[in-house]
Amino acid sequence: MTDLLPVVVVHGGAGFIPKERLQLSISGVCAAVRTGHAILKGGGSSMDAVVETVIQLENNPAFNAGCGSVLNVKGEVEMDAIVMDGKTLASGAVSAVRNIANPIQLARLVMDKTSHACLTAEGANQFARSMGIEEVPQESLITEYSRMRWRKNLAPDANPVESQMGKAGTVGAVAVDLEGNVACATSTGGMLNKMEGRVGDTPIIGSGGYADNQSGAVSTTGHGETIMKITLARLILFHMEQGRSVEDASDLGLACMQSRLGGLGGVVTVDPQGHWAARFSSKQMSWAAAQRDIMHYGLYTGEHFTQSIN
Sheet with strand 305-308: strands edge to edge? 118-120, 91-97, 79-85, 182-188, 171-176, 7-15, 284-291, 294-300, 305-308
Residue type, 12: G
Residue ranges of the annotated binding site are 198-201, 221-224
Q: Which positions are annotated as active-site residues?
A: 170
- Which phi and psi (to 5°) does residue 215 adopt? -135, -50
Instruction: Tell me the one-letter amino acid at 127.
Output: F
Cα separation of the two ends of the chain: 23
Give the whole-angstrom CA distance, residue 9 versus residue 1: 18
- Residue partners of 154: CB distance under 8 A and separation at least 6: 73, 193
Q: Residues annotated as binding site for substrate?
A: 198-201, 221-224
